[in-house]
Amino acid sequence: MTVTDKTAVVTGAGSRRGIGRATAHTLAAAGWNVAVLDLDEASAKDAAHEVADRNGVQAVGIGCDITDEASVENALTVLDGALPPVGALVNNAGITSPVPFLEVTGEEWDRVFAVNVRGAFNVTRRLAPGMAERGFGRIVFLSSVSAERGGGVFGGVAYSAAKAAELGFTRALARELGARGVTVNAVAPGLIDTDITGGALEGERKEQLIAGIPVGRNGRVADVADLITFLCREETGYVTGATYDVNGGAHIH
Ligand code: NAD
């Protein structure tokens, strides 16, 4: 199949060591043109340059706060016409929060939901109509093992609840859009080596966590990026509403 006439939008792909940037690269290596949306405009542009240089596709990086509908509208308007039509969306931008429930404030709860849930809604709501109209789309949500097992690695209740909301979002949207050629799936990574925890999971704590992982190491961004790219293939059109674990066996259920 060819995806050279299509664009994949990856949110939160600015982060240098993040899952989003790795995904932007694997999608581009598979032929997708790529649009990077990130709160950090400089990193979004840097990621787009890197992706275009390494993979010979078209790529654009745009500064965008996905929690803000106007910002999403502006970013995606820039994209219209600049790149081929959007065929895939990876709802990757996310934040975590380790605050225990007995200490969490309403503001902290809202902050976590604003990015992980409302942000994904803002971008998906803007892009899904075009996919449905063109009869092709691949939407992938970055949920987490935290949603399945109830936190316990780093994220607290707010993060687990937000990541579980993404699973409900995935499943209900898969039902609505299936007949329009749009698949919607979720990936649920375990501990992946990125900067999301701000260095809070290092040393002995990290060793303890790795001891509980059957494959004997923590996850790499490429482990997740490959799975997402597989779910975005045109040939993967009969997989929808699914949640794929990528956790080295840390949570087998
Ligand atoms: P990361 O912190 O490396 O990258 C997150 C990116 O999202 C950053 O570039 C950041 O600028 C961007 N972002 C944050 N708020 C934003 C906003 N309002 N608008 C636009 N961009 C915004 O994180 P990561 O570890 O690569 O995680 C990516 C996704 O995978 C997240 O949804 C996370 O919850 C999920 N996840 C990660 C792990 C893990 O262990 N790293 C495990 C399970 C799930």
| Total tally of structural domains belonging to the chain | 1
Question: pLDDT tens digits for the chain (253 residues)?
Answer: 578 899 999 999 999 999 999 999 999 999 999 999 999 999 999 999 999 999 999 999 999 999 999 999 999 999 998 999 999 999 999 999 999 999 999 999 999 999 999 999 999 999 999 999 999 999 999 999 999 999 978 899 999 999 999 999 999 999 999 999 999 999 999 999 999 888 877 888 888 889 999 999 999 999 999 999 999 999 999 999 999 999 999 999 9
Name the residue range of residue 219's domain: 7-246
| Nearest atom within ligand 1 for CA of residue 68 | 18
CATH code of 119's domain: 3.40.50.720
The ipTM, to two decimals, is: 0.99
Sheet of 137-142: strands edge to edge? Answer: 59-63, 33-38, 7-11, 86-91, 137-142, 182-189, 243-246
Q: List residues near ligand 1 (CB under 6 A).
A: 11-12, 14-15, 18-20, 38-40, 64-67, 92-96, 115, 119, 142, 144, 189, 191-192, 194-196
* pLDDT value, residue 204: 86
Position 53 in a domain? yes
Assigned domain for 1 exists: no
Q: What is the pLDDT of residue 85?
A: 98
- Establish if 65 belongs to a structural domain: yes
- Amino acid identity, position 158: A
Phi and psi torsions of 157, nearest 5° = -60, -40
- In this structure, is residue 236 part of a structural domain? yes
> Helices H, strands E: what count in the chain?
9, 7
CA–CA separation, 239 vs 23, rounded Å? 19
* List of residues 6+ apart from 81 with CB closer than 8 A: none
Residue 207 lies in a domain: yes
Whole-number Å distance between alpha carbons of 142 and 213: 20
